[in-house]
Amino acid sequence: MPTTLITGASSGIGLEFARLFAADGENVVLVARSEDKLEQLSRQLRFTHAIEATAIATDLSRPTAVDELCSELSRRSLRVDTLVNNAGFGALGKFVDLEAERQRDMLMVNVMALTGLTRQLLPGMIERGSGGILNVGSTAAYQAGPNMSVYYATKAYVLSFTEGLREELAGTGVSATLLAPGPTETGFGEDSGMGKFDFFQKAAMSAKSVAEAGYEGYRKNEDVVIPGWRNRLMVTGVGFLPRVATRKMVAKIQSA
């Protein structure tokens, strides 16, 4: 049975990914900080789908987290066929006002852990000539994000990294797909502060439908999956506008 490792599997989009891969008969490795939630989900998935589900609780903002996680995978003889880099968070506010430590943690989780895990797990996939990486970015990747500058920049990194990787992987049998959700009903809205905005609440899709779109796109080996017509329209429109205009628009809607 193939094994899929999902970061940020304790809630939201990651939890829905865990359900989808498990329902397809794949074994899953669930990673996040909330040990209780991971254990509960792994019990549920084992029971419902008769698969192996392993919970590994770790804080991916720690510099040693990726190495420790990979050592734990080796210790348990777990071979990862699909890596879903989904863990991530945002914070609304001006760069100079937000806590520096929170911004560093955001870079560690959204960028460093995603890159580190990919670097460690990809060689095995290439050697086997199969498997893939599914990275969760955001529609935030397509323009600068005043009042949430670090988060938007992390997601621009995820977009560029995944597209670059995809080309490098051509002919290896290993895929790289980006899922770029727009507003989604998860803990992200409240945690980041974005949930207070009308535009966010009105446009929010369910975590299940976002994960389903990502899952299907990954299975079809698509390069970029943008779930929902509103999000696709927004990203297309942004492509036609000068970056100075889009960043001023974001500054306006993300103020207050």
The site for ligand NAP (CB under 6 A) is made up of 8-14, 32-34, 59-61, 86-90, 109, 136, 138, 181, 183-184, 186-188, 191, 207
How far from the centroid of its chain's Cα atoms is residue 234's Cα?
20
* Max Cα distance, the chain (Å): 52
Closest distance to ligand NAP from the beta carbon of 7 (Å)? 6
CA distances from 12 to 79, 164, 178, 242 (A): 25, 27, 17, 33
Among the options 151, 152, 215, 218, which is catalytic?
A: 151
Closest distance to ligand NAP from the beta carbon of 127 (Å)? 27
Known catalytic residue at 151? yes
What is d(CA 28, CA 188) in angstroms, rounded to the nearest whole number? 23
Closest distance to ligand NAP from the beta carbon of 62 (Å)? 8
Task: For ligand NAP, give the closer residue by CB, 51 or 159.
Answer: 159
Kindly give the interhelix angle for 114-128 and 65-75, rounded to the nearest 10 degrees.
40
Closest distance to ligand NAP from the beta carbon of 188 (Å)? 3
Nearest CA among 222, 212, 179 for reference residue 88: 179
Task: For ligand NAP, give the closer residue by CB, 78 or 126.
Answer: 78
Task: For ligand NAP, give the closer residue by CB, 174 or 179.
Answer: 179
What is d(CA 204, CA 24) in angstroms, rounded to the nearest whole number? 26
Coil vs helix vs strand at 102: helix
Task: For ligand NAP, give the closer residue by CB, 88 or 145.
Answer: 88
Q: Which residues are catalytic?
A: 151
